[in-house]
Amino acid sequence: MDKGLGLVLPPKGEEKEIPKKNISNLLINARGDVLLDKEPLQIKDIRQVVLEKMAANDKLIISVKTHPKAKYQTYVEVLDQLKMANATRISIAETDK
């Protein structure tokens, strides 16, 4: 049986404007370093930090933006951490080319 991390993509042409205060930007660079709201952190700490941020703001949306050369494994690890923090409102930002 297949198993993995589930995610629902946003429908095409449904880009929503979200108030800036409800967005947390999570950036992944090509080397696999993670930046959450301009603070560098370890992947394994994401869960804790996101839990704290969500406790402070329950409308929080995590916007995950990855560098095109970042590895898929890093992305899955980050998504895993977000899932562990029960962050259901995850947005996958398009990578810049």
Partner 1 sequence: MKFSSKTKVSGEIPTSSMPDIIFMLLIFFMVTTVLREYEGLNVFLPQARKIERLESKRHTAHIFISKDGMISIDDKIIPMDNVKHVMYDKRVADPQLTVSLKADREASMELISDMHNELREADALKINYSSKVAAPS
List of residues contacting partner 1 (CB under 8 A)? 1-12, 28, 44, 66-73, 75-77, 79-80, 83-84, 92, 94-95, 97
Q: How far is the CB of 25 from partner 1 (least distance, A)?
A: 16
4 or 19: CB nearest partner 1: 4
| Complex with partner 1: residue 60 or 91, whichever CB lies closer | 91
Closest approach, Cβ 97 to partner 1, in A, equals 8
- Residues in Cβ contact with 59 at an 8 Å cutoff, skipping those fewer than 6 apart: 22, 89
- Measured between alpha carbons, how far is 78 from 75 in angstroms, rounded to an integer? 5
Rounded to whole angstroms, how far apart are CA atoms 4 and 25? 24
Pairing label, strands 34-36, 23-28: antiparallel
Least Å from the CB of residue 22 to partner 1? 22
Q: For residues 21 and 96, which CB has a smaller minimum distance to partner 1 in the complex?
A: 96
Q: What angle do CA 28, 32, 37 make, to 5 degrees?
A: 35
